Structure 1
Amino acid sequence: MSETGTTPEDLGALAERAAAGDKAAMDDLLRAIRPRVLRICKSVLPYSADAEDAAQEAMLNVATKIHTYSGRSSFSTWMHSVAANSARSTYRKLKRTAQAAHSPEQMEKPDPRTTSVIAGTRLDLLEALEALERDRPQMVTPLVLRDVYGLTYEEIAAEVGAPLGTIKSRIHDAREVVRPMLRPKD
């Protein structure tokens, strides 16, 4: 049984109805598989925002290519393949973008002076968050909840008790402040 209480058989039945054009079944199917799709993407892409982008792509692929599900395997297996392929595709795009922006010698390598070997924590991230806390404390919690813990904007708005637009703006502004502090030092 999945997180949503939907059994593999239920997912298969929803998939068949969705493939036949039942819009309500498609909505129910996408809602039921979203947590698992996101988990699969996060296993390939540890940065939450990238994983969420890949999960969105996977959900779109499920919705638009449901007719290609033949039923030879379980729907869960097919969906896992779609999600994993989407995550790998996103990884390849990110890698190409990074390679185009930097020469191989400029690519960031873990710096032992800024990376905790024991905890695997980037000390420069912690320093950036401390600086953000000093200058703009209202931005720290939304940024950490989004980029470290992977909560959705809606979950953060509910947790912080602020409007959704305000949360999105704070996270965007916080990223702009923190990003230069995370670049490799020359």
Structure 2
Amino acid sequence: MHGSDIESLARIASAGDLAALNVLLVTVRPEVLRVCGRLLPNREDAEEACQDTLLAVARGLPRFEGRSAFRTWMYRLATNRARSAYRRSRACGPAGSDDVLADVADQRRTSVVATTRLDLLNALGRLRPELAEALALADVVGLSYSEIAALHHVPEGTVKSRIHQARRELRKTLTA
């Protein structure tokens, strides 16, 4: 389904059309799962964050005001839910197992990757929203500059500038 079709479907669903909402959720689920999977090292956590995101979309869509593109709003929800899922998984620790050494090894491997991703999420949270969104859409979601420009209704040069500035600010934050 084309991006403008998703935007139209989101407008129809936000007006209370439950059939449109169901189609929208089924349509965007793979994209939401991909975003969550890129942010979380554990497939189960990514699935949980995906489900939380879809629930947040369903609940929040009637209040979605369209100040940004639907997909931009959805990506923001997915990023926030991924951050929450990561924090929950860290608070609970590894699942119980008889093989304590396997748990310790897995926790170390997972925590290095996940901590790096959480550091990135936290650093993104410190950026101005338009910079963080452009960078996340390019580097996490994998959208092209032209796709991001269309989503944000800005020229492609503005997107390039925002991504360049975001990367420069992230480098400072992550190497400090």
- The reply on whether 1:78 has 2:78 as its aligned counterpart is no
Unmatched runs of 5 consecutive residues or more in structure 1: 1-5, 116-186
Contact persistence 1:58–1:82 (CA under 8 A)? yes
Alpha-carbon spacing, 1:10–1:96, altered in 2? closer, same or farther (3 Å): same
The percent identity for this pair of structures is 40
> Where does residue 54 of structure 2 map in the other structure?
59
- Which of 3, 7, 12 is the equivalent residue of 1:12? 7
The alignment yields a C-alpha RMSD, in angstroms, of 2.7
Paired AA for residue 41 in structure 1: C
Q: Using the alignment, how far apart are the partners of 2:14 and 2:72 within structure 1?
A: 16
Deviation at 1:108, TM superposition (A): 3.5
**Bigger helix fraction:** 2
Unmatched runs of 5 consecutive residues or more in structure 2: 110-176
> Where does residue 82 of structure 2 map in the other structure?
87
Structure with greater contact order relative to length (CA < 8 Å, sep ≥ 6):
2
Structure of larger gyration radius: 1
> Where does residue 25 of structure 1 map in the other structure?
20
The two structures have a TM-score, normalised by structure 1, of: 0.50
Any idea what SS the aligned residue of 1:73 has? coil
Any idea what SS the aligned residue of 2:8 has? helix
- Which of 29, 36, 39 is the equivalent residue of 1:44? 39
Q: Using the alignment, how far apart are the partners of 2:80 and 2:62 within structure 1?
A: 17
Number of paired residues?
103
Alpha-carbon spacing, 1:35–1:110, altered in 2? closer, same or farther (3 Å): closer
4+ aligned runs moved over 6 Å, structure 1? none
Alpha-carbon spacing, 1:13–1:111, altered in 2? closer, same or farther (3 Å): closer
